[in-house]
Amino acid sequence: PRVAIIVVAAGSGTRLGKPLPKAFVELDGRSILSRSLDPIFALADPAQIVVVAPLSHLEQAHDIVAHSAGMASDACSVVVGGDSRQASVASGLAALLPSIEVVLVHDAARALAPASLFERVIAEVDSAGRGVIPGLAVSDTIKRVDSSATVLETVDRSQLSAVQTPQAFPRAELVAAYAAADREFTDDAALIQHAGGSVAIVDGDPFAFKITTPWDLRRAEQLLADASS
């Protein structure tokens, strides 16, 4: 394959507050990780899939991937994550096949991201030849505040975008930016920009919201219930 998708699922899910790592929490009868793989296995062009899992759940991750893939394949693998999301992505990058030209990095926690969003960022990275991230306009009024809870100003919302994953990059650019990273960044686009790269934005998808809190898990369950009724 030409495209690889690194699915980072090695976080603990502190804010969700369940006794097991977030990617292994059930979402309407199947794990968050399993659900997050559905759109990826539905892609028209098969991609290399690298799932990054916690050491404690490697076996479970293998079972989930094998169940989704239907058969063993060297284009599907599970690797152990690190202490930070960035370390987990780095661990996924080390598993890329030689044929890979484009890398998508995706949060397993965005379990309902649709296949169309993956197709959109892949098409755009191919035509733009640079990194591409999905983003949505911000609908709330955003204030800048200080540490003593004083409102300083209203931020111009028209210049803001709330970004999601999958984020797509030319392989060589992403690998070089990771090699050069000297600190932690909150997403891969920030890391690329720190290395001097430029990144484009495309329309995100409301279904690609990140399951972070118990409230988000409820919302995801409700959306699945709506879809099946």
Q: Which of 37, 63, 75 is closest to 166 using CA atoms?
A: 37
**Judged by CB under 5 A, which stretch of 4-12, 136-144, 188-196, 204-212 contacts Mg ion?**
4-12
Taking alpha carbons only, the member of 153, 165, 158, 164 closest to residue 138 is 158
Residues that bind ligand CTP (CB under 6 A): 8-15, 22-23, 52, 81-85, 88, 107-109, 210, 212
Q: Which is nearer to ligand CTP, 14 or 141 (CB)?
A: 14
In the chain, how long is the greatest CA-to-CA distance? Answer: 57
- Give me 193's structure tokens: 């920009």
Which of 99, 135, 127, 106 is closest to 23 using CA atoms?
106
**Residue 83 or 140 with smaller CB distance to ligand CTP:** 83
In whole angstroms, the minimum distance from the beta carbon of 220 to Mg ion comes to 17
Which residue lies nearer to ligand CTP by CB, 50 or 125? 50
The size of the chain, in residues, is 229
Total number of residues binding Mg ion (CB under 5 A)? 1
Rounded Cα distance, 146 and 150, in Å: 6
Least distance in angstroms from the C-beta of 104 to ligand CTP: 14
* Closer residue to Mg ion, CB minimum distance, 193 or 212: 212
Interaction site with Mg ion (CB under 5 A): 11
